[in-house]
């Protein structure tokens, strides 16, 4: 009985986290399309519901009722597993995101490593989908995205080391609390820019959407998918984007801290601040989708390995020497 009550308690907490995440994914898809449309002087989805807010839900319903087509020459088990893996990995990472000092599902010691590990596993959904489809375009898309995601993960890892040098702990709440006096976006601004661009590449967003470049690869690894399986890829992708935004907000923008510790700001609770910061970063993601043309593949690789990796490595040395020289290294 004791185990059962713990189990139900946990399930209740998990649902309380997952349902808002899924709803916000739906809303964010709408926001993305609206921002994209407004930059191009169009209206965007504005018919279903007020301001077209329910457009994504209508789309999801349409996908649910469509037939799932499984190509006869595909590797069926892996083909079906791929969208499930994408969706699951995009959702389990939310377990460690702190919404305030106490509102965390799992306040683990190595929270940032967990986030990094889960986001680096995200590539499997894409490779599995691309390979199991047994078709040219999905396979090319999968190969491209595997190389791209592995490359940009490296620089994200080095950027995380930068932040960890200033914090002295791998716990996400500690990282947020360490920014009480100064958000890391100010001393580590170049790292924030590189993190943001690497996050674009890691989530296959434009201008780095080579894996699904519609002009060359139809839809890349999603080409053979239909119905609910396609919708799961699509939702997982947006959940991943939100997760990268949350990671950026926690690492550089002070997580659930309010920008100034003075009266009108302190009234607003922590979770609201975190959500506002996530939305700000997502707005930038959406703007960039609308205003930047797609990169060429060799340029993308060159940017990752020859520009971002050396820059972030040099910055690690700089940060470490600065902290060491002024005796600011966090020691507990």
Partner 1 sequence: MIAHSIFFYTFSIIAIVSAIMVTASKNTVHSVFFLILDFISISCLFIMIGAEFLGMIMLIVYVGAVAVLFLFVVMMLNVAQQKNQWFSSEENSKHIPVGLIISTLIFVELIIVVGGWKYKPDLFDINNSLELAKVSNTHSLGQVLYTDYIHVFQISGMILLVAMIGAIVLTFRKRVGVKTQSYIKQISRERSDGVSVLNVESNKGVKIDD
Q: Provide the binding-site residues for partner 1, judged by CB under 8 A.
A: 3, 75, 78, 108-110, 113-114, 116-117, 120-121, 123-124, 127-128, 131, 139, 143, 146-147, 150, 153, 157, 169-170, 298-299, 332
Report the alpha-carbon distance of residue 80 to residue 48 in Å, rounded: 31
Min dist. Cβ of residue 228 to partner 1 (A): 23
Report the alpha-carbon distance of residue 255 to residue 273 in Å, rounded: 7
Cβ-contact 182, 260 below 8 angstroms: no
Peptide bond into 205 cis (omega under 30): no
Min dist. Cβ of residue 70 to partner 1 (A): 18
Min dist. Cβ of residue 16 to partner 1 (A): 22
Nearer to partner 1, 82 or 249 (CB): 82
Report the alpha-carbon distance of residue 62 to residue 302 in Å, rounded: 41
Min dist. Cβ of residue 149 to partner 1 (A): 8
Nearer to partner 1, 268 or 329 (CB): 329
Q: What is the CA radius of gyration of the chain?
A: 20
Nearer to partner 1, 39 or 147 (CB): 147
Nearer to partner 1, 67 or 298 (CB): 298
Nearer to partner 1, 127 or 197 (CB): 127
Q: For the chain, first and last CA: distance in Å?
A: 40
Q: Vertex 276, ends 212 and 304: CA angle to 5°? A: 35
Min dist. Cβ of residue 81 to partner 1 (A): 9
The pair of structure tokens assigned to 57 is 């839900």
Min dist. Cβ of residue 51 to partner 1 (A): 40
Min dist. Cβ of residue 207 to partner 1 (A): 17
Min dist. Cβ of residue 131 to partner 1 (A): 5
Nearer to partner 1, 118 or 239 (CB): 118
Min dist. Cβ of residue 135 to partner 1 (A): 13
The pair of structure tokens assigned to 5 is 């009550």
Please give the biggest Cα pair distance in the chain.
65
- Separation in Å, CA 294 to CA 51, 145, 198, 211, 246: 29, 14, 15, 11, 25
Cβ-contact 166, 174 below 8 angstroms: no
C-beta atoms surrounding 276 within 10 Å:
14
Please choose, from the candidates 168, 25, 161, 36, the residue with its C-alpha nearest in 3D space to the C-alpha of residue 109.
168
Cα-Cα-Cα-Cα dihedral sign, residues 93, 113, 185, 329: positive
Nearer to partner 1, 90 or 278 (CB): 90
Report the alpha-carbon distance of residue 60 to residue 143 in Å, rounded: 28
Nearer to partner 1, 111 or 248 (CB): 111
Report the alpha-carbon distance of residue 223 to residue 248 in Å, rounded: 31
Nearer to partner 1, 109 or 266 (CB): 109
């Amino acid at each position: 009985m004791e185990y059962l009550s713990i189990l139900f308690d946990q399930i209740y907490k998990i649902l309380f986290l997952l349902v808002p995440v899924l709803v916000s994914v739906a809303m964010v898809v709408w926001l993305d399309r609206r921002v994209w449309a407004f930059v191009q002087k169009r209206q965007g989805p504005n018919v279903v519901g007020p301001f077209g807010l329910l457009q994504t839900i209508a789309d999801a319903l349409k996908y649910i009722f469509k037939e799932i087509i499984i190509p006869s020459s595909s590797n069926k088990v892996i083909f079906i597993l791929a969208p499930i893996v994408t969706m699951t990995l995009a959702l389990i990472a939310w377990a460690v995101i702190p919404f305030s000092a106490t509102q965390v599902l799992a306040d683990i010691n190595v929270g940032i490593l967990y986030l990094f590990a889960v986001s680096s596993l995200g590539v499997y959904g894409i490779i599995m989908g691309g390979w199991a489809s047994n078709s040219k375009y999905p396979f090319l898309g999968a190969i491209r995205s595997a190389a791209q995601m592995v490359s940009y993960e490296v620089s994200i890892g080095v950027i995380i080391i930068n932040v960890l040098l200033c914090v002295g702990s791998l716990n996400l709440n500690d990282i947020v609390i360490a920014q009480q006096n100064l958000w890391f976006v100010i001393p580590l601004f170049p790292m924030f820019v590189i993190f943001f661009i690497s996050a674009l590449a890691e989530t296959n967003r434009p201008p780095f959407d080579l894996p699904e470049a519609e002009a060359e690869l139809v839809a890349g690894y999603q080409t053979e998918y239909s119905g609910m399986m396609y919708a799961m890829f699509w939702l997982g992708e947006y959940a991943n984007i939100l997760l990268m935004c949350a990671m950026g907000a926690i690492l550089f923008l002070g997580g659930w801290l309010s920008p100034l510790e003075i009266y009108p700001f302190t009234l607003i609770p922590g979770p609201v601040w975190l959500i506002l910061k996530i939305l700000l970063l997502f707005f930038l993601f959406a703007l960039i989708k609308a205003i930047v043309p797609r990169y060429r593949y060799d340029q993308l690789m060159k940017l990752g390995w020859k520009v971002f990796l050396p820059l972030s490595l040099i910055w690690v040395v700089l940060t470490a020497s600065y902290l060491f020289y002024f005796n600011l290294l966090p020691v507990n």
